[in-house]
Amino acid sequence: MSIDGSDKDFRDAIAKVYESHLVPLIFQPYAEDLVPRIASRQPTNVLEIAAGTGVVTRAMTSGLPASVAIVATDLNQSMIDQAMAIGTARPVEWRQADAMQLPFADGRFDAVVCQFGAMFFPDKAKAFAEVRRVLAPGGVFIFSVWDRIEENEIPDTVTTALAGLFPDDPPRFMARTPHGYYDRATIVRDLVDGGFTTSPEIATVAARSRARTARDAAIAFCLGTPLRNEIEERDPNRLDDATDAATRAIEARFGRGVVDGKIQAHVVMIENS
């Protein structure tokens, strides 16, 4: 699976809507699931990669002992700036960093965490090799990826709606990238190619995605993800039209009140031998 260049472009306008609309819609439930998994390993030095606007970072600062050192990184400085502006319950070291070339010494961390970032890595095996390099022996890598788009009702609805708006060149960001890395065998193969020799534990976790209105959910995906880039590439004047079409489709499926849809992801845990 190739990654389009615009798929990784979380510019400032996207970062703000990502935090205000997308984080509570789909990321917060999995942050709450992920932190107890991390805590069960009793780490002392944690690296987070692809931290986004810091939903997991904030959960870790509240859910892990104060003695646990946390370094949080993201490829996009705009996302880090947004995370830093929100703040955390206790100090965190923020760094701009590419997961493909981590600027840390070998074996520095006893846990590496990544929520919904691995799908964006152009070379998964290379990124996993970097994770393994910075992990101490016996350390753990815990990461989550979205399941196929058909198991995630709201983004599936939005993708179908936009295909109707742009029938000659439908925007496929959601299916291509966030929901394009769901095959368990592929994930295991990439971990092996990255140098991991132990068997991963993979749990499929379903949750609920809730928004106050269909409009809020449409804004989350059309304005708060690189789907926005795809829409504007097709016609910079149709961003409002796309958001309106997504709103209508969400209302048609979930009603005009509170939106409540299924979301599903794989949570992977693997030790460094």
Q: With a threshold of 0.85, does the pTM exceed it?
A: yes
- Are 25 and 210 in contact by the 8 Å Cβ rule? The answer is yes
- Are 19 and 79 in contact by the 8 Å Cβ rule? The answer is no
Inter-helix orientation angle 28-39/55-63, to 10°: 40
> What is the rounded average pLDDT of the residues 179-183?
98
Q: Which residues contact 209 (CB under 8 A, 6 or more apart)?
A: 25, 26, 29, 152, 153, 154, 217, 259, 260, 261, 262, 263
DSSP assignment, residue 258?
-
Q: How far apart are CA 169 and CA 17, in angstroms?
A: 25
DSSP assignment, residue 101?
S
Q: How far apart are CA 119 and CA 180, in angstroms?
A: 7
| pLDDT tens track for 27-85 | 999 999 999 999 999 999 999 999 999 999 999 999 999 999 999 999 999 999 999 99
Distance of CA 228 to the CA centre of its chain: 16
3-state SS assignment for residue 227: helix
3-state SS assignment for residue 262: strand
Q: Mean pLDDT lowest for which of 10-24, 129-143, 227-241?
A: 10-24
How many Å from the N-terminal Cα to the C-terminal Cα in the chain? 28
- Are 108 and 80 in contact by the 8 Å Cβ rule? The answer is no
Q: How far apart are CA 272 and CA 132, in angstroms?
A: 6
Q: Is pLDDT at 11 greater than 60 in this prediction?
A: no
- Are 19 and 223 in contact by the 8 Å Cβ rule? The answer is no
List the chain domain ranges: 5-271
How far, in Å, are 151, 190, 270 from residue 126 at the CA level? 28, 9, 16
- Given CA atoms 8, 12, 13, 17 in this order, what sign does their dihedral have? positive
Q: How far apart are CA 121 and CA 64, in angstroms?
A: 27
In the chain, which ranges are continuous DSSP H helix?
Answer: 12-17, 28-39, 55-63, 77-86, 124-134, 153-165, 173-176, 184-193, 214-223, 227-234, 239-254
Domain 5-271 has CATH 3.40.50.150: yes
Q: Mean pLDDT lowest for which of 1-10, 91-100, 251-260?
A: 1-10
Q: Mean pLDDT lowest for which of 1-15, 157-171, 199-213?
A: 1-15
| pLDDT tens track for 120-176 | 999 999 999 999 999 999 999 999 999 999 999 999 999 999 999 999 999 999 999
